[in-house]
A and B are shown apart, each in its own frame.
Chain A
Amino acid sequence: MFGSANNYLSGVLRAAEDYDGENLGTFLSLRDVHVQNHNLYISQPEKLVERMLKPPLDEVVGSHLKVLYYLSQEPPNYMEAYNHQAASCSAVVKLLQQMKDENWCLPVMYRVCLDLRYLAQACEKHCRGFTPGHILEKAADCMMACFRVCAADGRASEEDTKRLGMMNLVNQLFKIYFRINKLHLCKPLIRAIDNCSFKDSFPLPEQITYKYFVGRRAMFDSNYRMAVEDLSYAFTHCPDRFKSNKRLILIYLVPVKMLLGYLPRKSMLERYDLLLFHDLALALKAGNVKKFDEIVHEHELVLIRSGIYLLVEKLKFIVYRNLFKKVFAIRKTHQLDMGDFLSALQFVGVTDVSLDETHCIIANLIYEGKIKGYISHAHNKLVVSKQNPFPSLIST
């Protein structure tokens, strides 16, 4: 089934002449079957390639063959493979620059950039001698070169503009920036997409990925309403057959919504194997600070790995609020003794808390608008509003 190198190259040529970006992309993909073709493992393919293809496509393909060559070695030489993939990516930039008013080769760019990221990840894993994240950052630089060409293509019509490739690249870059913990680099990318006049005409799968990352970023910036909006979009538009992707979105969406006062349904958590949140929600609802801490502690590693530990920690003040609301429900008066709140904290098992800290916690809840009222220090009492002293979280 595998032909000679010449067969491969004429296939490439045909795809290019037909303006068939998808097909050409497949010829350059490291996930395609052609990578198993031993006839293509050529250490110096330049001459051969130049005979068939015009520049800069010859460089794209030549570098690709070198990547195959280095990956076929035993053990695979990831570092060299990466370097040639980066060269291939730079050649794609030239290819893009050459094409005015046409964008059929965008799939080629997607493919080459995607493989560049995979190879960078492989280098990070297998190679030594550089600071962690360095190769990924370099890969991001290569992609940025592509991005700039795409973003600058403002004159072509809406169907032919290379700007349509921006979102795909932005998503790739997000994946890198999230991995190397450099979220501040996302900001200019988001702005570029926001300024796009046709931002709704990007393909739906890309939009879902985009919203997922933008939502997560908003979450880190403590911009929770935005986060819920974006993540909800991603969740509702993601088709049901991508269950693991939906689960991934929920991991962030559920705690952010909890922070805004929405508790998740158990049936849904069950469907996505996220019952941990059910336990958290129960402790939260009951105002059981101690139990809440215990669950967080028990699942610490899972929460840290999925990047929501800090978010879950923020729920703590809501747990306090729910506990204090119960004190109000029991006492049924608008002048509540501060000592009662302290007792409540001690009752649920918080041992290392003082009256001063109780004051500070309640002060904070008042400041955030989660309790309506004021504290009288002299009488050691919290005086709550006659109307709606514990406003629902959804409205605050």
Chain B
Amino acid sequence: MENIQFVRGSCERFCPDGEAKMRIQKKLLNYFEYKDGQKHVPGVLVKEFTRSAADAKVPKAKDMRTELCLTRTVEYLLKDIFMDERKPYHFVYDFIFDRLRSVRREIVIQQYNPRQTICLIEPMIMFMAYSRYRLCEDPIDKFDPKICNQHLQECLNVVLCCYDELDEEAQSMNEKKPTIREAERRYFIEALYQIFNLGTPEALVRGLMLPIQVRENEIFKLAFSICLNYHQGNLYRVIKGLPKLPHIICAVAGAKLQTIRRRLLEIFTHAYNSKQLTVPTAYLLHLTLLEPKSLTEQCRHYNIAQTPDRKAVHFIKTEFKIDAETIKAHRETFIDQKLSRIYLPEVLLLKKLWI
């Protein structure tokens, strides 16, 4: 198994010459691949994603990039293109997503070892996690959260497998331990995985089995305790824990907030069920992390009556609209604030975590 040699890339450019020539000729360049401000002059091209197909030839070394070049590609995409504000973000996202996918494909074809794979995939996870939140309010024709989730999960599974493999190597061969930097990146990603998979037993089981260093890391501990509380049904602690999560992980949690709120409101319609009595709005705002305007929206959506002055809410269990769909994820002020305080390219590339 170990002695099979895989193709190693030799291309040092973001886009192999063959593809560049073809795409320039056929005018198949993306907006970001034209030279700044000029319409027909090609600028920096990045290799496109193509599916492996039965009729396609096995890629040659010159059609694939070296490890260093792949790293530079990821950096170029997540810094230069990511910060480019000439186009709306969903457009930027589509471009980066596609080009990162072709990087992922090369990782598979070239059969990189766990260390190499981790370095390249971790930033992709961060990018998708961030974009998932940033684009959550966009309509489906601009951004499909489901596809994004799928790829995010796939990438997470890949790096988690790599971590496990390195753990095993470290145990059996006394190989070199991960550096502090590598370890910290891992803790962050493991925590992100937990929150992304909030409520699934598989993730919890993984969390319980992780090496002690991971389980004792502060960020991981916080994320895992949120998941455990969710599992137990203690939504209060879930809601109180969420805002303490760091930026990108908090953004991932943002996608789960609507479900949590819905459950909380449904529980309350049973617990505070009364025709006469009301529950003060202030108390609910505090427990749902909502702003007054959004609370009104939620109440209307799930058919919960508010008093005319909107200072209190009537909970009646028979009136709660059980068959209503959960409200779509929104940008949240407290998350936006967290994100505004960091320099995103650095965080996405995990150069510095800003924690």
The stretch of B25-33, B76-84, B231-239 in contact with A is B231-239
B231 and A310 within 8 A (CB): yes
Q: Compute how far the CA of A129 lies from the CA of B204 in the bound complex, rounded to whole angstroms.
A: 27
**Chain A residues with Cβ under 8 A from B287's Cβ?**
356, 360
Q: Which of A130, A360, A367, A377 contacts B234 (CB 8 A)?
A: A360
**Chain A residues with Cβ under 8 A from B273's Cβ?**
374
Q: Which of B204, B208, B235, B274 contacts A374 (CB 8 A)?
A: B274
The stretch of A25-33, A64-72, A311-319 in contact with B is A311-319
Indicate if B169 sits at the interface (CB-CB under 8 A).
Answer: yes
A310 and B279 within 8 A (CB): no
Q: Which of A130, A310, A362, A377 contacts B1 (CB 8 A)?
A: A130
Chain B, 204-233, contact with A by CB distance < 8 Å: what is the 0/1 string? 111011000000000000000000100111
Indicate if B201 sits at the interface (CB-CB under 8 A).
Answer: yes
Name the CB-closest residue of A to B283.
Answer: A377
A377 and B272 within 8 A (CB): yes
Please report which residues of chain B, range 270-302, place their CB below 8 angstroms from some CB of chain A when the two chains form the complex. 270-274, 277-280, 283, 286-287
**Chain B residues with Cβ under 8 A from A374's Cβ?**
271-274
Q: Compute how far the CA of A357 lies from the CA of B236 in the bound complex, rounded to whole angstroms.
A: 6
A360 and B235 within 8 A (CB): yes
A128 and B169 within 8 A (CB): yes
Q: Which of B201, B209, B267, B283 contacts A364 (CB 8 A)?
A: B267
B280 to chain A, nearest CB (A): 7
The stretch of B16-24, B160-168, B331-339 in contact with A is B160-168
Name the residue in B202, B228, B271, B280 with the highest tally of chain A Cβ atoms < 10 Å from its Cβ: B271
Q: How large is the interface on A (under 10, 10 to 19, 20 to 34, 35 or more residues)?
A: 20 to 34
Indicate if B172 sits at the interface (CB-CB under 8 A).
Answer: yes
Known A357-B237, A377-B280; contact A314-B165, beta-carbon cutoff 8 A: no
Indicate if B89 sits at the interface (CB-CB under 8 A).
Answer: no
Indicate if B12 sits at the interface (CB-CB under 8 A).
Answer: no
**Chain A residues with Cβ under 8 A from B277's Cβ?**
376-378
Chain B, 145-183, contact with A by CB distance < 8 Å: what is the 0/1 string? 000000000000000011011001100110000000000
A131 and B161 within 8 A (CB): yes
Indicate if A8 sits at the interface (CB-CB under 8 A).
Answer: no
Known A220-B201, A310-B201, A377-B277; contact A317-B232, beta-carbon cutoff 8 A: yes
Name the CB-closest residue of B to A373.
Answer: B271
**Chain A residues with Cβ under 8 A from B233's Cβ?**
314, 317, 364, 368
Please report which residues of chain A, range 277-307, place their CB below 8 angstroms from some CB of chain B when the two chains form the complex. 304, 307
B205 and A181 within 8 A (CB): yes
Query: Hey, which bits of chain B sit against chain A, CB under 8 A?
Result: 1-2, 161-162, 164-165, 168-169, 172-173, 201-202, 204-206, 208-209, 228, 231-237, 264, 266-268, 270-274, 277-280, 283, 286-287
Query: Hey, which bits of chain A sit against chain B, CB under 8 A?
Result: 79, 128-132, 181, 183, 220, 304, 307, 309-310, 313-314, 316-317, 356-357, 359-364, 366-368, 374-378
Taking A304-B208, A364-B267, A374-B272 as given, write out 16 further A-B residue pairs in contact, using a Cβ cutoff of 8 Å, ordered by the A residue number: A128-B169, A129-B1, A131-B161, A131-B165, A132-B165, A183-B201, A313-B228, A314-B231, A356-B236, A360-B287, A361-B234, A361-B236, A363-B267, A364-B233, A376-B272, A378-B278
